[in-house]
Amino acid sequence: MAALELTRREEFDPAFLSLVASFPEGAKIRHCVQCGTCTGSCPVSYQMQHTPRKIIEMVRAGMRRAVLTSDSIWYCASCYSCSVRCPQGINLPEVMYLLRSIATATARDRSAIFYHCFSETVRRYGRLHEPALMLRYQLRTGLLGLFKNLPIGVQMLAKGKLHLLGRRIGGCQEVETLFRLAEDERRGSTGVPI
Amino acid sequence: MSQSSGLKYAYFPGCSLQSSAVDYNRSILSTCTELGIELRELEDWNCCGTTAVTSTNLLLSYLLPARNLALAEEEGLDLAVACNSCLVTHRRVTGCFSLDISPLANKIRSSLHKIGRTFRGRVQVRHILDILAEDLGFEGLAGKVKRRLEGLKVVPYYGCQYSRPGAQLKEAEMPESMDQILDLLGVEVKEYSRKTKCCGGVLMTTKPEIAAALVNELLEEAADRGADAIVVTCPLCQMNLDIYQGDVNARFGRSYNLPVVYFTQLLGIALGVKLVELDVHRGFVPAEPLLRKYA
């Protein structure tokens, strides 16, 4: 615990570890030996507010707010370098997914916004429609990005790598039902999906 | 179609292969036709959700791919996927069903039931690369090679999610299947220590400075190894390395000019498929000048 900065007592929430550990991949963090192989293997840990190793220890300490508001959980690119090297068999990207799922409603990180816009696009069309996704995303993060990405978009269009018109799949109603079921689950007793 | 290999799959192209990676899709279809592998596109498939849905709603990240698996099971076929991320998301679901008792599998089953679908876990998810290397096999491939791509120097870039998670450490970090296929075609495959290093994935959109640094490292080693091109297995890797190569050059003051091609495009050329049917003209960094002499 010496590695963690001093935090006010009320910021430790023991229920947080129980919540994370109630998921199969989350439960494995109890076995973490803090060797730091995950941090050393991670291609983006150098940018994170808290390294992957530290995030695990913070979850175990119950630092709910600090974990869920840190940028660390949104940096993971799911490359699984950490998970294949972890001596304790912890699948850390899955733990990151879990933490994101808990944090998502209030998260303001650009990645969180992107993932939300992506999901909503899939909900509408049943598949990804890039122009719709990018428009949603840029409207929420600033139109400057839209102008920055415009040349690439135009070139993709010229190369036949982009379609302006989105088409909805036949099973959109089925997809919508799956979205609703998953949302109902989130509103259920645990307050998190699954 | 040439003589049938007897191999038949439900084909899940995935969203990228209908837009930014139409070239990958076309080269897969023409190459598999030439090899007598039947790919029957899964009717009315939906997006697998990729890391976006796993990052917003965990249960949904299992339900979306589960619908596709149910559709494949109705056809009685295994699922062929082309994208590394589609591979991982679909395998997360089949993984739940391979356990004896999984509460999650029960939840997936009951949710699918509500949309009138069933999935019993009887579908295997196969990457196109594994279908070629394992299901068809190197011997089956070798007999079909009509033109050898002598003199073409490449680095093989698998991306991070082709062999992870799941495989043992050596295979997970240094896979060999694509090296072996390229070797059969007469291509000079260079050593490449970054075979499975991350390209940044969607961080290229949300945190471009980070992803560009990762892509810069990938391009730098490829150039240092003397490669004429980078060969990939994933549409997102192709996009980050090719479409954003100009951006990386501008950020880091480099002048890389490395075509990024799909392994199915090189395989197609060696099988005698016409360049136009392999869509080699769609890359941002032109690949045609390099490949024309082999066609």
User: Does the structure show a pLDDT above 60 at B261?
Assistant: yes
What secondary structure, in 3-state letters, does chain B show? CCCCCCCEEEEECCCHHHCCCHHHHHHHHHHHHHHCCEEEECCCCCCCCHHHHHCCCHHHHHHHHHHHHHHHHHHCCCEEECCHHHHHHHHHHHHHHHCCCCHHHHHHHHHHHCCCCCCCCCCCEEEHHHHHHHHHHHHHHHCCCCCCCCCCEEEEECCCCCCCCCCCHHHHHCCCHHHHHHHHCCCEECCCCCCCCCCCCCHHHHCHHHHHHHHHHHHHHHHHCCCCEEEECCHHHHHHHHHCHHHHHHHHCCCCCCCEEEHHHHHHHHHCCCHHHHCHHHCCCCCHHHHHHHC
DSSP letters for A42-71: -TTGGG-SS-HHHHHHHHHHT-HHHHHTSS
**Do A160 and B22 touch, CB atoms closer than 8 A?**
yes
User: Does the structure show a pLDDT above 80 at B205?
Assistant: yes
pLDDT at A148: 85
**Do B188 and B229 touch, CB atoms closer than 8 A?**
no
Q: Which domains does chain A have, with CATH numbers?
A: 11-106 (1.10.1060.10), 110-189 (no CATH)
Q: Indicate the pLDDT class of residue B168, thresholds 50, 70 and 90.
A: confident
Mean pLDDT of B12-32: 97
Q: Is B33 on the interface with A (CB under 8 A)?
A: no
User: Does the structure show a pLDDT above 90 at A146?
Assistant: no
pLDDT at A50: 97
User: Does the structure show a pLDDT above 50 at B93?
Assistant: yes
- The two tokens of residue B95 are 């993984």
Residue B281 has, within 13 A of its CA and on its CB side, a CA count of: 8
Average pLDDT for chain B: 96
Flag if A186 and B172 touch (Cβ within 8 Å).
Answer: no
**What phi and psi values does residue A95 have, to the nearest 5 degrees?**
-65, -40
Q: Indicate the pLDDT class of residue B101, thresholds 50, 70 and 90.
A: low
Q: Which of A5-14, B9-18, B27-36 has the lowest mean pLDDT?
A: A5-14
Flag if A156 and B117 touch (Cβ within 8 Å).
Answer: no
Set of chain A residues whose Cβ sits within 8 Å of the Cβ of B165: 80, 83-84, 91, 93
pTM above 0.90, yes or no: yes
Mean pLDDT of A105-129: 95
pLDDT at A23: 86
Among partner residues A155, A161, A169, which is closest to B44 by beta-carbon distance? A169
Q: Is A144 exposed, middle or buried (CB count within 10 Å of its CB: 0-12, 13-18, 19+)?
A: exposed
Residue % of chain A over a pLDDT of 90: 78
Render pLDDT for B146-157 as a digit per residue (tens, 0 to 9).
Answer: 999 999 999 999
Mean pLDDT of B121-129: 97
Mean pLDDT of B183-202: 97
Q: Indicate the pLDDT class of residue B75, thresholds 50, 70 and 90.
A: very high
Rounded CA-CA distance B231/B185 in Å is: 13
Flag if A78 and B18 touch (Cβ within 8 Å).
Answer: no
Q: Is B143 exposed, middle or buried (CB count within 10 Å of its CB: 0-12, 13-18, 19+)?
A: exposed
Q: Report the residue of chain A nearest B16, measured CA to CA.
A: A128
Flag if A183 and B57 touch (Cβ within 8 Å).
Answer: yes
User: Does the structure show a pLDDT above 50 at A124?
Assistant: yes
Q: Indicate the pLDDT class of residue B65, thresholds 50, 70 and 90.
A: very high
Mean pLDDT of B283-291: 96
| Amino acid, res. A181 | L
pLDDT at A2: 47
User: Does the structure show a pLDDT above 70 at B165?
Assistant: yes
Q: Indicate the pLDDT class of residue A6, thresholds 50, 70 and 90.
A: low
Set of chain B residues whose Cβ sits within 8 Å of the Cβ of A156: 20, 243
From first CA to last CA, the distance across chain A in angstroms is 30
User: Does the structure show a pLDDT above 60 at A5?
Assistant: no
Average pLDDT for chain A: 91
Set of chain A residues whose Cβ sits within 8 Å of the Cβ of B238: none
pLDDT at A153: 93
Among partner residues A74, A91, A113, which is closest to B165 by beta-carbon distance? A91
| Amino acid, res. A7 | T
